[in-house]
């Protein structure tokens, strides 16, 4: 019921009762209780489609249940006797419409309580004005049928609808779980393919060579470091960064990469800009060590690069825009 269409229906409802109240105002004096009743009924209808929760919250339920007897008492107190037109009893139909949708929102008992109180107001008014209590019962009980139908709906269709929504929720949950599992499988396959590409040549060399030379051992060291990077810094395993890191280690530079997932929440353009800058920093390192750390989300800086060499230590910070800030010693 929380849709734009429901709001349109509420507007049509409010317009209808306002037109009825104004058109059939003959003999009504004063008129302000009628206008107040129109406002109360319209506000009640609006709350039916805007207040969240299923069933309706208790406070809203009590307020809606009081609309029938309340608006009826307001209007009947100023009606002429006998009435100028039977449409002057419009609060009965207006309240019945609200009670009907209260059943839809899971408050059937409260709707019936409000309906019976409304009938009671009609009987008291008719008896007090000399028309007889049966007259009050006759003009109000005709609204019994719509409320009875909505009660049948609440007792039969609502449980079925609840089951359907539960099945839909479960289906969406299962679909999400399957999608996550599929993503994990694809990621696993990609990692296995990458591991095969990186490690197979060296494994074949180990399996076929009689003895590993210094170059083979150094290649094992480089591969071990590259595999470690893929675990500690997955965001820094892009091809260009990996190539620059491997080249720096081949030159004897100690390269340490850490990823605390700050790149997970930035755009692709910023990621590319930062990775290009980090690649350039690694390429310039000739001796010593370089530590690259992607910071956690929410930090003022996106990443830091700490370079240590014979000439000193230099720290470079990269802002959330991917640009380097002035270095600090």
Task: Report the pLDDT value the prediction gives residue 265, as an integer from 0 to 100.
Answer: 85
Task: Report the pLDDT value the prediction gives residue 113, as an integer from 0 to 100.
Answer: 95
Task: Report the pLDDT value the prediction gives residue 311, as an integer from 0 to 100.
Answer: 83
Helix, strand, or coil (residue 305): strand
Nearest to 37 by CA among 58, 54, 14, 8: 14
Enter the DSSP assignment of 324: B
d(CA 230, CA 75): 77
Nearest to 308 by CA among 250, 263, 248: 248
Q: Residue 187 to residues 184, 192, 239, 240: CA-CA distances in angstroms? A: 5, 9, 17, 20
Structure tokens at 198: 């990186």
d(CA 291, CA 45): 64
Instruction: Give, for all 329 residues of the chain, the pLDDT tens digit.
Output: 567 888 899 999 999 999 999 998 888 889 999 999 999 999 999 998 888 888 889 999 999 999 999 999 999 999 988 888 888 899 999 999 999 989 888 889 999 999 999 999 999 999 998 888 898 899 888 888 889 888 888 888 777 777 777 888 888 888 888 888 888 888 788 777 777 777 777 777 777 777 777 777 888 888 888 888 888 888 888 778 989 999 999 999 999 999 998 888 889 999 999 999 999 999 999 899 999 999 999 888 999 999 998 888 889 999 999 898 875 54
Nearest to 251 by CA among 217, 288, 226, 212: 288
CB 248 within 8 A of CB 226: no
d(CA 301, CA 282): 19
What b/e readout covers 16-44, taking b as 16+ CB neighbours within 10 angstroms? Answer: ebbebbeebbeebeeeebbeebbebbbeb
Name the H helices within the chain.
4-23, 32-50, 58-65, 67-76, 90-104, 108-128, 133-141, 144-208, 214-232, 239-250, 268-284
CB 67 within 8 A of CB 40: yes
Does this model's pTM top 0.85? My answer is: no
Structure tokens at 119: 């009938």
Task: Report the pLDDT value the prediction gives residue 2, as an integer from 0 to 100.
Answer: 62
d(CA 29, CA 243): 90
**Residue 291's CB: how many other CB atoms inside 10 A?**
15
CB 295 within 8 A of CB 302: yes
**Residue 87's CB: how many other CB atoms inside 10 A?**
12
Burial class (CB in 10 A: 0-12, 13-18, 19+), 63: middle
């Amino acid at each position: 019921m929380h849709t734009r269409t429901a709001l349109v229906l509420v507007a049509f409802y409010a317009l209808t009762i306002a037109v009825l109240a104004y058109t059939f105002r003959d003999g009504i004096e004063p008129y302000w209780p009628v206008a107040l009743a129109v406002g109360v009924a319209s506000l009640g209808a609006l709350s039916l489609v805007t207040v969240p929760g299923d069933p309706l919250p208790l406070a809203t339920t009590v307020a809606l249940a009081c609309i029938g007897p309340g608006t009826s008492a307001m209007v009947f107190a100023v009606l002429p006797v006998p009435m100028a037109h039977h449409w002057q009893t419009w609060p009965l139909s207006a309240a019945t419409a609200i009670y009907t949708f209260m059943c839809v929102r899971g408050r059937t008992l409260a709707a019936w309580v409000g309906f019976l109180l409304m009938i009671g107001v009609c009987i008291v008014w008719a008896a007090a004005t000399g028309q007889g209590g049966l007259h009050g019962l006759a003009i109000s009980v005709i609204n019994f049928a719509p409320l009875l139908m909505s009660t049948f709906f609440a007792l039969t269709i609502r449980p079925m609808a609840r089951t359907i929504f539960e099945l839909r929720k479960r289906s969406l949950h299962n679909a999400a779980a399957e999608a996550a599992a599929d993503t994990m499988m694809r990621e696993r396959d990609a990692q296995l393919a990458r591991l095969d590409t990186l490690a197979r040549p060296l494994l074949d060399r180990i399996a076929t060579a009689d003895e590993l030379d210094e170059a083979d051992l150094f290649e094992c060291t480089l591969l071990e470091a590259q595999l470690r990077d893929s675990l500690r810094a997955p965001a820094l395993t892009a091809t260009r960064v990996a190539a620059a890191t491997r080249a720096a280690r081949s030159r004897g530079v100690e390269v340490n990469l850490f990823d605390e997932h700050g790149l997970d929440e930035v755009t692709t353009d910023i990621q590319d800009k930062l990775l290009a800058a980090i690649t350039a920093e690694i390429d310039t390192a000739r001796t010593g060590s370089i530590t690259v750390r992607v910071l956690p989300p929410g930090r003022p800086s996106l990443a830091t690069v700490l370079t240590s060499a014979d000439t000193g230590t230099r720290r470079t910070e990269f802002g959330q825009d991917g640009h380097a800030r002035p270095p600090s010693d």
